Chain A
């Protein structure tokens, strides 16, 4: 099985968010991690490879700094990495998906994995769009994935339960938490990762130009949420506090 993983580097979940003088999200000094859902995807790819053989290629669209996340995936055990640095100012999910799909179309794949959502400015659509562009079926929010006879059986999360879906390969799947526990790269893995191939490409290398990937969504502005007004501690012994809270929720907040 040849497996391609779409991987995005995101802000650390602890990152403080500020807006810079150009009105954009300040990226300076923010520590970056592999999108947690993509870690599940990389881990799943490695497990499939360990069981069924094949190659794992990790693909990302991003700046040169994304090499760190790609190295992490290689250290976990992926075989090769592809970095497409489009060097564009304005992008959206359509842009990213179009570039990713083009990069993937030049690779061999039976299975394409991604995260169900990027935890930064993500919006759970890039992998779905990639599937659509490549003409492949997609199953989102997968918590269990098995293979038999050229088909995949995926268990995916739905509201209030789960469903089991069968699709023929090649197909695209997005990882939900619960799919697996990602491994930590071993020392040996980290050493080996340095020698693994990492291909770097630009938009032109894929035969794309900026006009073809021009974003559909235009950002008007970023803003920070207004701080929640300071709340209050309801004092007293538990019984008094409980009674006063119930009163406040009814009379002041009017929520019960």
Chain B
């Protein structure tokens, strides 16, 4: 019988993504509910040193898949390695973060294993011994609950930031299993990686986001949002109108044809709240809107709103937040 909950450990250059810890915390609960093991699957090169910490986050076992070929993420390398490990050990479930790599990897692994995959899930629960996942469809205008009865492993990618990271248990150790990494032929040849140097967190992982729309009136004005963001340790986002105007690159776009984000705090400045924008941010825990139009749609989803000129309000917010955070 296929058993065990697996969590894919996503790391880049030896740094583990936060969503991995979120999945270990959430996975721990379902593993306990099922009375099964929670295993972390850690592919990479020179990553064995990361294994012990995964025990402190709840893993019972860590599979370390080491290979020079896994130094950087490639679709084939990672999919072959994870799928062949899964064929050998037959887990009951495989969870990954719904990140660029997680999405890419999950689809390949699911097809290699001939199994079902639910992506971008916002909830996971046990119902009558069955792992059940909830995911938003139609841009968050509806949700679907689904499972994979009769096929194993069940696969899912989970949206970052929906589960919180539980308390770590210092000293709790996991059994480390070094498994051979069967990377097969890697057909994607990485020629170049260009990373924008930014001191701000990545949009999809940020705990707080400050976004600007057409109301920002020009690219130079994003500076006031960046200053507000830096007080909060937040990421900066944008509406499609701001992206289409060329003020921000598409990587900043939040919405149905941009990024889906789920921060604790989302501050929308000069954004009207079009349905396609809401699609990308309505699962944020607390939404704040600053808009000069009291009728703006964004106020219908905002927990707190200020009706006013953002050029007055945003700098004041920065000062007030600074005071609060320093106190």
A: which residues have CB within 8 A of B? 11, 13-17, 19, 25, 36-37, 92-94, 97, 119-121, 123-125, 128-129, 131-133, 137-141, 143, 153, 157-168, 171, 176-178, 215-225, 228-229, 231-234, 238-239, 241-243, 245-250, 253, 255-256
- Nearest opposing residue in chain B for A17, CB measure: B141
Bound CA–CA A19/B141 (angstroms): 11
Indicate if the CB atoms of A158 and B100 lie closer than 8 Å: yes
- CB-defined A-B contacts under 8 Å, sample of 13: A128-B104, A131-B108, A139-B75, A141-B104, A157-B251, A159-B99, A164-B190, A216-B114, A218-B147, A221-B144, A241-B308, A245-B288, A245-B306
Which of A128, A133, A153 has most chain B Cβ within 10 Å? A128
Inter-subunit contact A224/B288 (CB<8 Å): no
Known A-B contacts A124-B119, A233-B294; the reply to A246 vs B144 at CB < 8 A is: no
Q: Are B118 and A217 in contact (CB under 8 A)?
A: yes
User: B116: CB under 8 A from chain A?
Assistant: yes
State whether A241 and B146 are in contact (beta carbons under 8 Å apart), knowing that A217-B117, A249-B286 are contacts in the complex. Answer: no
Secondary structure of the A contact surface, majority rule:
mixed
A220→B123 CA distance, assembly (Å): 14
Other-chain residue from A17, A171, A215, A217 in contact with B138 (beta carbon distance below 8 A): A17
Give the contacts of B129-152 with A (CB-CB under 8 A).
132, 135-149, 151
B142 touches A19 (CB 8 A): yes
Name the contact of A225 in the complex, choosing from B100, B112, B120, B140 (C-beta under 8 A).
B140
B196 touches A161 (CB 8 A): yes
Q: List 16 additional A-B contacts (Cβ < 8 Å) besides A13-B276, A25-B137.
A: A119-B139, A119-B257, A123-B119, A123-B135, A132-B111, A138-B75, A139-B75, A141-B104, A163-B193, A164-B192, A167-B188, A216-B117, A223-B142, A231-B303, A245-B320, A253-B303
Q: Which of B163-209 contact A (CB under 8 A)?
A: 187-196, 198, 202, 204-205, 208
Q: How far is the CA of A220 from the CA of B131 in the complex (A)?
A: 12
Known A-B contacts A92-B116, A217-B148, A255-B265; A231 and B299 likewise in contact (beta carbons under 8 Å): yes
Chain B residues whose CB sits within 8 angstroms of the CB of A221 once the complex forms: 144-145
Q: How far is the CA of A143 from the CA of B194 in the complex (A)?
A: 13
Cβ contact within 8 Å between B76 and A137: yes
Q: Which of A160, A231, A242, A253 contacts B196 (CB 8 A)?
A: A160
A216 near B146: Cβ-Cβ < 8 Å = no
CA distance A225 to B198 in the complex (A): 35
Q: Which of B260-290 contact A (CB under 8 A)?
A: 264-265, 275-276, 279, 282, 285-288
Q: Which single residue of chain A is at the shortest CB-CB distance from B250?
A: A178
Q: Is the CB of B257 within 8 A of A177?
A: yes
6 A-B pairs with least C-beta separation: A216-B116, A128-B107, A246-B320, A125-B107, A242-B316, A137-B187
Contact at A123–B118, with CB atoms within 8 Å?
yes
- Whole-angstrom distance between the alpha carbons of A71 and B279 in the complex? 28
**Are A163 and B192 within 8 A (Cβ)?**
yes
B299 engages A233 (CB within 8 Å): yes
Instruction: Report which of B75, B104, B301, B319 forms a contact with A242, defined as CB distance below 8 A.
Output: B319
Using Cβ atoms and an 8 Å threshold, which residues of chain A touch B325? 256
CA distance in complex: A158, B8 (Å): 18
A190 → B minimal CB distance (Å): 25
B324 within 8 A of A: yes
Residue on A nearest B186 in the bound complex, by CB: A137
Contact call A256/B187, Cβ cutoff below 8 A? no
Set B111, B140, B320: member contacting A243, Cβ < 8 A: B320
